[in-house]
């Protein structure tokens, strides 16, 4: 009986856990050459925010630009496929050079956003 009670309690906690924790979309880091100023960051972010798979609930409307390290962070809507070609094309259309993209686990708070 003791094991059954423990199992039920554990199952209850595990089932309640996903409901209590927000489901985060996938986040990606893109290294980009040529980001040197706020104007650069604004232009890149504006182009990326227009893509339909960007999750506006993360970062600053789905995009975070780190000028100092020349990185762009994007959040992809849950259940959406990431389109690396569309991301790179949006960055290239502004005259910048995307180098590589990798998935990251972090979620930035609004205080971390630099734009």
Band of pLDDT at residue 3, cut at 50, 70 and 90: confident
CA 10, 16, 20, 24 torsion: positive or negative? positive
Lowest-confidence segment of 21-30, 33-42, 100-109 by average pLDDT: 21-30
Domain boundaries, the chain: 23-112
> What does the pLDDT look like over 50-99, one tens digit per residue?
999 999 999 999 999 999 999 999 999 999 999 999 999 999 999 999 99
Rounded mean pLDDT, 13-22: 41
Give phi and psi for 47, each to the nearest 5: -65, -40
More confident residue, 106 or 60: 60
The fold for domain 23-112 equals: Alpha-Beta Plaits (3.30.70)
Query: Alpha carbon of 112 to those of 73, 75, 108: distances in Å?
Result: 11, 14, 6
Band of pLDDT at residue 8, cut at 50, 70 and 90: low
Q: What pLDDT, on the 0 to 100 scale, is given for residue 105?
A: 80
């Amino acid at each position: 009986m003791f094991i059954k009670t423990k199992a039920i309690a554990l199952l209850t906690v595990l089932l309640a856990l996903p409901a209590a924790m927000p489901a985060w979309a996938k986040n990606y880091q893109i290294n980009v050459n040529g980001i040197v100023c706020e104007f650069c960051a604004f232009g890149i972010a504006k182009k990326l925010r227009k893509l339909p798979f960007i999750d506006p609930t993360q970062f600053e409307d789905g995009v975070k630009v780190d000028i100092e390290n020349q990185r762009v962070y994007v959040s992809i809507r849950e259940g959406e496929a990431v389109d690396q070609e569309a991301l790179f094309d949006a960055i290239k259309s502004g005259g910048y050079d995307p180098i590589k993209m990798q998935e990251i686990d972090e979620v930035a708070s609004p205080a971390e956003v630099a734009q």
